[in-house]
Structure 1
Amino acid sequence: MQRRTGKRAAVRFVRYRPVPMTRGALALNPAPPPAQPPGLRLVRPAAGVDAEVRAVADTAIRLVLDILAGTRPAHQLSLVAAPAVCRELLGRTGALLRRGGRIVPPRVLTSRLQRPTPTVAEVTAVVIMAGRIHALALRLDHTRGRWRCTALETTAP
C-alpha cells in the first residue's frame, strides 16, 4: 500500500480499460448534425437558376470588357446581348491597350449579382482597363427561355 501525502502529483496515471464492442445499429450510425434554426440556411451560389444567371453575367462582362478594350469584335456580344446593346457598343470599340509593347488584357476585380424579380438580374462589376479602375453595370432579362443583356452602363471611355 502507498502512503498518501498532502501533495497532489503533477502527473496522474490512469489505467486503460478497453471498451466492450457493441453490435447494435446505434454504435455504427454517426450522431445527426445539429439542427439549424428554421430561418437560416446555407445558400450556394452555384445552385439552380442562379448558376445559369451567373454564367451569362460573367460571360457578358468578359465580352463587354474585351470589346471596350478593342481585343474582340462587337458582333460576338450578340450571343448574350440584345441587338440595341450590340449596336451601341459597335461604335465604342477601343484601341488595343498596350503597355511596354505588349497587350494588357482588362481584368474583373469584383462582380455582384442581384435579382429584383425572377425574370430580371442586375450585375455590377469593378474592372481594370488600361491601368484605370472602371465600373460596369448590366441588366439581364429572361425572355424566350434565355438570359440576355438589355442595358449597359459603364464609366469606361
Structure 2
Amino acid sequence: MVRPVRSGAVRFVSYRPSPAVHGALALRPAAGPAPQGPGLRLVRPAAGEDAEVQAVAEAAGRLAVEVLAGTRPPHQLSLVAVPAVCREIAAQLGPGTRRGRIVPPKVLSTRSQRPAPDVAEAVALVVVAGRVHALALRLEHARGRWRCTALETTAP
C-alpha cells in the first residue's frame, strides 16, 4: 500500500521562460550515455478503471484550479483531496482571496497514467487569467475512492 504524502503536498513552481528561447521549445540533449536503471513497467488496470481515474483526475484538476483562481472556496477541494493538500492551498491563498470580477479558469486537457495499481498521476493544461499553466496531481486509491495526495502547479 502506498502512503499519502504528509508534508510538502503542494508545490508552486515559478515559471520563467528562458530569454534565449524566443517562443520555441528548446531541448538540449543530455551529455553522455543515458542512465541505466531498473526500467519501467506498464501496469494495466482492470476494465473500466481507466475511465474512473480519468474522470477523477479531470474533476480534481478542475476543482484545484478553480480554488487557486479564487472562483471556489478552498474547503470545496476536500471533496477530492486529502487534508494536507487542502491545508497547504488554504494557507497559500490566505484570507480574502476573492477579488472583484474573476474570469473562471478553464481546463484545456487532462492526461493520466497509472504507475502502480493504487496510484495515478495526472497532468492538466489550464488557463488562469488568460495564461496557460500546468497542473500535476498525484492520486491514490484508499478506502474505496481516489484522492489527490500531492499537487504541483505553475498557476499563481
TM-score range, shorter chain: 0.5 to 0.7
State the match for 1:83 in structure 2: 83
CA distance in 2, matches of 1:51, 1:96: 36
CA distance in 2, matches of 1:74, 1:113: 24
Root-mean-square deviation over aligned CA pairs: 1.5
SS of corresponding position for 2:136? strand
User: For residue 63 of structure 1, what is the amino acid of its counterpart?
Assistant: L
CA distance in 2, matches of 1:48, 1:54: 10
The question of whether the paired residues in 2 share the 8 Å contact of 1:141 and 1:148 is answered with yes
Normalized against structure 2, the TM-score is what?
Answer: 0.64
Q: How does 1:114-129 map to 2 (within 5 A)?
A: 114-129=113-128
Change (3 A) 1:97 1:141: farther
User: For residue 71 of structure 2, what is the amino acid of its counterpart?
Assistant: T
Q: CA deviation at 1:84?
A: 0.2
Runs of 4+ in 1 over 2 A off after TM superposition: 91-98
Matched, 1:63 2:63: yes
5+ unaligned residues in a row in structure 1: which ranges? 1-46
Normalized against structure 1, the TM-score is what?
Answer: 0.64
Q: Looking at CA atoms only, which structure, 1 or 2, has the larger radius of gyration?
A: 1
Matched, 1:153 2:152: yes
Greater relative CO, 1 or 2 (CA 8 Å, sep 6+): 2
May I ask how many residue pairs the two structures share in their alignment?
107
5+ unaligned residues in a row in structure 2: which ranges? 1-46
